[in-house]
Amino acid sequence: MTDTPTPKSSNQMWGGRFADGPDAIMEAINASIGFDKRMAAQDIAGSRAHAAMLGATGILERSDVDAIREGLLTVLSEIEVGTFQFSTALEDIHMNVEARLKDLIGDPAGRLHTGRSRNDQVATDFKLWVRDQLDAAERGLLALMRALLAQAEAGADWVMPGFTHLQTAQPVTWGHHMMAYVEMFGRDLGRVRDARVRMNTSPLGAAALAGTSFPIDRHMTAEALGFDTPAANSLDAVSDRDFALEFLGAASICAIHLSRFAEELVIWSSAQFRFVTLSDRFSTGSSIMPQKKNPDAAELIRAKVGRIFGANTALMMVMKGLPLTYSKDMQEDKEQVFDAADNLMLALAAMTGMVSDMTANRESLAAAAGSGFSTATDLADWLVRVLGLPFREAHHITGSLVALAEQKGCDLPDLSLDEMQSAHAGITNDVFDVLGVENSVRSRISYGGTAPERVREQVSRWKDLIS
Ligand code: ARG
């Protein structure tokens, strides 16, 4: 940031009441320009909408409005090309823009703030910024879901172990596992979309807190900025930060999902599992161990959840004790939202890249699917279905056969019919049909189950939903 020297005299925006300039420490704690300059485009969009409305309602002369509009466009281009001189003494983006506008167009700049305050201005700017992030999160989620759907479609019938307690539980399909994440990110998508609908009201024109005596048209500015309506209560409008909290809440839950998936990718790409091979593009090597290919992107995604939760907690703490309406505490609402948004978008993009590029190792998945007595439940179900045993008894008999296989160091399908019959005389050769993992997954045809036909139905349902 290029800085202009601190003026010795009082502040040019509100200096009328102040004889002395601020102490350097006061200036340092008070200034937000170091971070809120990220809202420059939103600030100028808000000011342009406000100025146009002041013209349309006859509150300002047309000539002033034209000068303001031209001046604001110049300020925007200076910021975009990087020639704008940001000043800490001018505290925040709102006063930096207005001061530069005054340099450029003189007196009409001083009329821009008619019928508004920095309180409704900052609420408007920040809402516009967060709204853009909700839109970016929606795009990021859709891209990730499409990558997962492609994996699910390719491997709708590939068998793999399903886990509980990270212990082999029952065979499932790769497609089914991918689709579990589609459901999770689909809920994130729903939260992002809900939040956008709820937040889309305009604070502009609430002024400092009480509204204004000027005959402003808040519907006009709301519409110009893409809001559905003006916020209905001026006190609420300037003191509400729910929109940022909802964004962080949705981002936090999404980050949990990203982190859980990242954890699975770390486990699955290890030499002990070999379920997936991550692409070179999303892995790194070790400077000392030549054999290593590390899942760094997944690990970083797993870690990012911490800072996103941190942002959520921090903003809840900032807001929790504030009386209505605006308090300067609320300036502390932005930095961490910016950081959380940046990292959420990066994590979504990195996860999308990893998922698109990764290769599922079908043979390793199938081999693991059959180990760990994963079809024990199928055996118990067979005893119930074919021999009519009560499930508890079937469970007991199956348990004894698992113990026998464990003792022999083999899997359930490797036991002989004699050995099977030692546990229950009624068992026949047909039992071996259900002990294979392929048959096991094909049999789980209940709605939401792992059978390939059910998985393919879910893939096409989601394709329809998000196309
Ligand atoms: N920089 C301030 C913020 O981010 C702008 C609003 C200042 N309003 C005020 N009454 N001091 O919250």
Q: What is the pLDDT of residue 5?
A: 47
Q: What percent of the chain has pLDDT over 90?
A: 88
Contact residues for 436 (Cβ-Cβ < 8 A; gap 6+): 370, 375, 413
Q: Does position 23 have pLDDT exceeding 90, yes or no?
A: no
Q: What does the pLDDT look like over 49-107, one tens digit per residue?
A: 999 999 999 999 999 999 999 999 999 999 999 999 999 999 999 999 999 999 999 99
Helix orientation angle between 62-81 and 93-105, rounded to the nearest 10 degrees: 120
Distance 243 CA to ligand 1 centre (A): 17
**293 to 189, 270, 301, 347, 365: CA distances (angstroms):** 32, 9, 17, 20, 20
DSSP string of 61-96? -HHHHHHHHHHHHHHHHHHHHT-----GGG-SHHHH
**Mutation test of ligand 1: which of 322, 331, 335, 336 has the most ligand atoms closer than 8 Å to its C-beta?**
331
Nearest alpha carbon, ligand 1 atom 3: 331
**Confidence bin at 12 (pLDDT 50/70/90):** low
**Mutation test of ligand 1: which of 96, 118, 209, 334 has the most ligand atoms closer than 8 Å to its C-beta?**
118
Question: Is the C-beta atom of 118 inside 6 A of ligand 1?
Answer: yes
Q: Does position 17 have pLDDT exceeding 90, yes or no?
A: no
Q: What is the pLDDT of residue 9?
A: 56
Q: Which two tokens stand for residue 385?
A: 């279905």
Ligand 1 atom, smallest distance to 334 CA: 4
**Confidence bin at 6 (pLDDT 50/70/90):** very low
Ligand 1 atom, smallest distance to 93 CA: 1
Distance 329 CA to ligand 1 centre (A): 9
Q: Does residue 6 have a cis bond before it (omega within 30 degrees)? A: no
For the annotated catalytic residues, the residue numbers are: 165, 286
Ligand 1 atom, smallest distance to 208 CA: 10
Distance 338 CA to ligand 1 centre (A): 17
- Report d(CA 441, CA 464) in Å as an integer: 25
The residue that leads in pLDDT, 21 or 279, is 279
Question: Is the C-beta atom of 330 inside 6 A of ligand 1?
Answer: yes
Q: What does the pLDDT look like over 255-277, one tens digit per residue?
A: 999 999 999 999 999 999 999 99
Distance 83 CA to ligand 1 centre (A): 25
Q: What is the pLDDT of residue 2?
A: 46
- Report d(CA 18, CA 9) in Å as an integer: 9
Distance 403 CA to ligand 1 centre (A): 70
- Report d(CA 399, CA 380) in Å as an integer: 9
Q: What does the pLDDT look like over 423-432, one tens digit per residue?
A: 999 999 999 9
Nearest alpha carbon, ligand 1 atom 7: 118
Q: Which two tokens stand for residue 237?
A: 């409008």
